[in-house]
A and B are shown apart, each in its own frame.
Chain A
Amino acid sequence: MNARANVALVLERLTVRYPAAANNALEQASLDIRSGELLAIAGPNGCGKTTLLRAASGVLAPLSGLARCAGQTHPMHMLPPESRARLLAVVPQMAGLPSGYTVAEAVMLGRISFHGWFGPETAADREAVHSALAAVGLESISSQPIETLSGGTAQRVLIARALAQGASILLMDEPTAHLDIRFQIETLSLLRRFARERGHAVVAAMHDLNLVARFADRVALLSGGRLVCCGSPQTALTAEILSPLFHHPMQVIPHPLHGYPLILPDGEERLKSAGKPARARKKR
């Protein structure tokens, strides 16, 4: 397999420390991100998933190491924001959207690196917005105010804005948080299609290991800011790796129909038998 040829973004021993923090939030993380793949980043809370995405996008200057796009001489954090935005787009974790803009206006903001602060919106900009809206299935509501949208639809507006940037690398911070099951499946199918059909490199920080197992081509597991392992869901998502990583016993079985791993965290009954009293019992 010619893996080296289609590397889109390289992280080289990326180390990040926040001001006034005692430890590095990210420690010597090295990772190749390839075109055409959906790479999931998983790990317990506070393991550095979001930090890794922020450092890869260039908004955080690393303490040492670097993130660099294929074909670029400068690392991401040295590039001006306008250049970064055309190489790499970020879909943030869903929070409330500001009010006062239509769906199309919000997506058009993704074109600011093309028309600048003052320039007029060109036909190319409108075309990019239109095709981004079409890609996420929002053309019909392009003149809706964004503050009236449901969580899943608002998430897709942000994905469309990222697509409108024209970047071939997409970083997603928990794209399925706050979404119900149907929207989770729809969003991840969409992301995988972008990787397969358009050759985008898609990186998604995710919490739900079963969604990772089902949709990711590869998964990178983080713990305490360190990259523990990286590989296909079949090789990386095993009980031997996951149980110590999350400090919680888990069973992993193959899906009865499709064969991908199913991760089943052990419940209260198992914990009790291991000698830890359940909290509910303690109260009584």
Chain B
Amino acid sequence: MRSIPIAPRPRISLSARGGFFSRALPFGLCLILLGAALAASVAIGAVAITPGQLWSILRHAPDSAGIPPSLTSIVWDLRLPRTIFIMLLGMALASSGAAFQGIFRNPLADPYLLGIGSGASLGVAIAITIPGFAPSSPVIPVFAFLGALWIVLMVYGWSRPGRDAASSTRLILAGVAAGAFAQSLAAFLFYRTVEQTQRAIAWLMGGLLLGGWDPVRLSLPYILIGIAVMFAMGRVLNLLQFGEEQAEQTGLNVQRARWILIITASMTTAAGVAFGGVIGFIGLAVPHLVRLLWGGDYRRLLPLSTLLGASVLLLADLLARTLLAPQQLPVGIVTALLGAPFFFYLLRRNGASR
């Protein structure tokens, strides 16, 4: 067959798909950004800590540098656990957002807009109203997961008339309705039973429910396992982008793949939400940014979104802590302030292309 002349690539993207260096570059950039965000998150706060002091404290050598014990305690008991948890939360939200976008083949899918975060918070609210369950109980993430799963099944059931990609409008409408319902129910339960109502309501908007290392300890296993499973499903997600029927005819057990992905992404989201509250738009915006910069291959998109999501949420948290200092805003308020305009931008772009 004659060869067909192909015009040179019109679109210039940061990802040259060729050599090792150009493939590794995005990962390097994201890792550097994450390192900087981690350091800033620990160093900046009501008490400023210099990089030298931080380094000494982290190396367990504060005495030699003449650092007061209170500073050591601030780093180890307050800043570090919060920073690590926020990092995990950002990873969980961005990776599951990318996965949901792939499962539903819908650029607007996001754990928050699909109502999954609110479902998880309802699960937590129910668990806390049961006498004897403290907010630090290990059953909290399990309840969060069940709540998230309930919402995702409901939203998926409502919005899926045929075999094709769930339609954007129905999916988002169902998600927003289910999310509002679950969130209101959770707030209702809190007002009825919990003494520290204000803190609980702040948590619903994306504040931390607990201080210290408990959130990290309790959510770490779920988030790490979930992220690992989603990373491994990159090839499967790629095939799903061609449509469910094509994927099946190409040899993919679509039903099985979809359920594993839905359950994993819900679990990952829920483990973060259980202690970090409902935080919007990270799962929407971060994978989009990665897709625009470095392309839509899920084998790269998922890890890059995970790294970038952690950095973005750390920076948003930094803003939330410093904007109205000494008051702390729930980080969900900051992400919504920055993310909602981005959502409208996507909506416009999507509307124009259809």
A interface residue numbers (CB < 8 A to B): 54, 57, 59, 80-82, 84-86, 89-90, 92, 95, 97-102, 105, 109-110, 112-113, 117-118, 136-137, 140-141, 143-145, 148-150, 152-153, 161, 165, 186, 190
Contacts and interface: CB of A to CB of B under 8 A. Distances in A.
Contact of B251 (A84, A118, A136): A84
A85 B4 CA distance: 29
Interface in B1-49: 1-4, 6-7, 9-11, 17-18
Interface of B: 1-4, 6-7, 9-11, 17-18, 232-233, 235-236, 238-239, 241-243, 245-246, 248-254, 257, 291, 295-297, 301
B253 to A, nearest CB: 5
A140 B6 CA distance: 10
22 contacts: A81-B249, A81-B253, A84-B251, A85-B251, A90-B246, A92-B249, A99-B295, A100-B296, A100-B301, A101-B296, A102-B17, A109-B235, A109-B238, A110-B251, A112-B239, A112-B251, A137-B3, A145-B9, A148-B9, A148-B11, A149-B6, A190-B1
B241 A153 contact: no
A109 B232 contact: no
Given A92-B245, A152-B4, A110 B297 contact: no
B187 to A, nearest CB: 39
A98 B251 contact: no
The 4 closest A-B CB pairs, nearest first, are: A100-B296, A85-B251, A113-B251, A137-B1
Contacts of B11: 145, 148
A89 B232 contact: no
Contacts, number: 99
Contacts of B3: 137, 140
A214 B4 CA distance: 24
Contacts of A86: 251
B235 A112 contact: yes
A153 B6 contact: yes
A95 B232 CA distance: 28
A82 B249 contact: no
A81 B250 CA distance: 8
Contacts of A97: 242
Contacts of B236: 112, 117
Contacts of A57: 249
B1 A117 contact: no
Contacts of A152: 4
Of A54, A92, A98, A186, most B-chain CB atoms within 10 Å = A98
A100 B246 contact: no
Contact of A117 (B4, B9, B233, B243): B233
Contacts of A89: 249-250
B245 A101 contact: no
A25 to B, nearest CB: 14
B232 A117 contact: yes
A101 B251 contact: no
A152 B301 CA distance: 28
Given A143-B17, A144-B6, A152-B4, A84 B253 contact: no
B297 A101 contact: yes
A101 B1 contact: no
B235 A117 contact: yes
Contacts of B4: 137, 150, 152-153
Given A117-B235, A117-B257, A82 B251 contact: yes
Contacts of B9: 144-145, 148
Nearest to A115: B235
A109 B251 CA distance: 9
B253 A85 contact: no
A13 B1 CA distance: 39
A153 B295 CA distance: 21
Given A97-B242, A100-B296, A186 B253 contact: no
Contact of B252 (A112, A141, A150): A112
B148 to A, nearest CB: 24
A17 to B, nearest CB: 15
A118 B252 CA distance: 12
Nearest to A54: B245
Contact of A80 (B6, B242, B246, B253): B253
A84 B257 contact: no
Contacts of A54: 245
Contact of A90 (B7, B239, B249): B249
A153 B3 CA distance: 10
Contacts of B17: 102, 143, 145
Nearest to A18: B162
Contacts of A102: 17
A136 B1 contact: yes
Most chain B Cβ neighbours within 10 Å, of A54, A81, A99: A81
Contacts of A81: 248-249, 251-254
